[in-house]
Amino acid sequence: MMKMVKIEGRNPVIEALKGKRKIEKILIQEGIKGEKIDEIIKAAQEKGIRIQRVSRTKLDHIGVSHSHQGIIAFAEKKELVTALDIVAYAQERGESPFIVILDQIQDPQNFGAIIRTAYAAGAHGVIYQDKRAAGITPVVVKSSAGAIEHILLAEVKNINQTIEELKKAGLWIVGADMAGETLYYNADFKGPIGLVIGSEGKGLRRLVKENCDFLVQIPMPGEFSSLNASVAAAILIYEVLRQRQ
């Protein structure tokens, strides 16, 4: 029997209904109404998905994200790909690959926010590690606002080995680091790029840094010495988009 995972919140459920994942059933809070609820019910009925009205108490008990907004869907797990699948996807589209690589991002809200930004900016996929990092949880799905349904994700055992694979496939690997020798807006992001974002607090691990082709930094003349991982990622991801446009 296929293991089902929870998708919580109105936008994430709407995006899941637009995506490829099989949805077993959707729980909707009794008495709750609205345009998005109507949209969910209509889409679910068209796909023959079971809808069940339940109490707020039951949803609170089942929910993990603490912000289910009166709706939880049970769906099959997100289908994952390999790092080279993402490269192939970009090439099939006739585009220069742009992949976001996460080095042990552990906060699920940061992870979800980075996925959301990567998808919005047209990145071809996101790579993350299977251990000592946030996995695909209901909080990550909710924080991505449903973007997780539409972007390629690769879970890998070893970030450094994956970087080597991507280099052989022709990508330049750029790490975000406060000790970077280049200011991010002076770097050339127009070619095939793997952008590596380090973990909250610790940043990039030493070996990951050494494996990058070059490091870029975000200037911070203010009092703070670092940015939130998802904020730093957003600045760099949109610089890649800006240069490519």
The per-residue pLDDT for range 165-178, each reduced to its tens digit, is 999 999 999 999 98
**Which stretches in the chain have pLDDT values below 50?**
none
The per-residue pLDDT for range 119-154, each reduced to its tens digit, is 999 999 999 998 877 788 888 998 998 899 999 999
Residues 71 and 114 in one domain: no
User: Tell me, what's the pLDDT at 223?
Assistant: 63
66 is in which domain, residue-wise?
Answer: 4-76
As given in the structure block, the two tokens for residue 92 are 């099939």
Q: Which CATH number is 166's domain given?
A: 3.40.1280.10
In terms of DSSP H, where are the helices of the chain?
A: 10-18, 35-46, 56-62, 83-92, 108-120, 138-143, 159-168, 206-211, 229-244
As given in the structure block, the two tokens for residue 106 are 């552990």
User: Tell me, what's the pLDDT at 126?
Assistant: 98
Phi first, then psi: give them for residue 33, nearest 5 degrees.
-135, 175
User: Tell me, what's the pLDDT at 2?
Assistant: 57
As given in the structure block, the two tokens for residue 143 are 């924080």
Q: Which CATH number is 41's domain given?
A: 3.30.1330.30
